[in-house]
Amino acid sequence: ELKVEQNPLFLSMQEGKNYTIYCNYSTTSDRLYWYRQDPGKSLESLFVLLSNGAVKQEGRLMASLDTKARLSTLHITAAVHDLSATYFCAVGDSGGGADGLTFGKGTHLIIQP
């Protein structure tokens, strides 16, 4: 059974600071996804990581994937209040079929002015 662990589950930080969210998963997979969810809203796709060593950046967010360590990170640089949200990582299996995603528990991020 695929398990996905995220940490921390809750993070309160100040604007301007840097921080990293970690996502570990238990079985081989070559597909790792990061989503953002605002309260009461649906999931917004942030990054799709498909190979070992993949690194993607969008604004103040950067995601990376190490398939050998089964670890992905989401790094936040110089945080701003608008980034406050819940962030989920999710993993698909490596079969390449129409499987669903297994989500981590999510990281509730609050950025204080």
Partner 1 sequence: DTEVTQTPKHLVMGMTNKKSLKCEQHMGHRAMYWYKQKAKKPPELMFVYSYEKLSINESVPSRFSPECPNSSLLNLHLHALQPEDSALYLCASSQKQGVAYGYTFGSGTRLTVV
Q: In whole angstroms, how close is the CB of 78 to partner 1 at the nearest point?
A: 27
User: Measured from the CB atom, is 96 or 113 closer to partner 1?
Assistant: 96
CB of 93 to partner 1, least distance (A): 11
State the nearest-atom distance from the C-beta of 87 to partner 1, in Å. 11
* Residue located via tokens 């993070």: 11
Contacts with partner 1, residue ranges (CB under 8 A): 30, 33, 35, 40-43, 45, 48, 50, 88, 96-106, 108
Please identify, using beta-carbon distances, which residue of 100 and 113 lies nearer to partner 1: 100
Nearest approach, Cβ of residue 18 and partner 1 (Å): 25
Q: How far apart are CA 41 and CA 34, in angstroms?
A: 16
Q: What angle do CA 23, 38, 24 make, to 5 degrees?
A: 5
Question: Residue 19 or 103: which CB sits closer to partner 1?
Answer: 103
On the question of a cis peptide bond just before residue 39, with omega within 30 degrees of 0, the verdict is no
Closest CA to 62 of 44, 84, 45, 46: 46
Q: Which is nearer to partner 1, 97 or 113 (CB)?
A: 97
Sole residue written with tokens 């996804």: 33
Q: What values do phi and psi take at 74, rounded to 5?
A: -120, 110
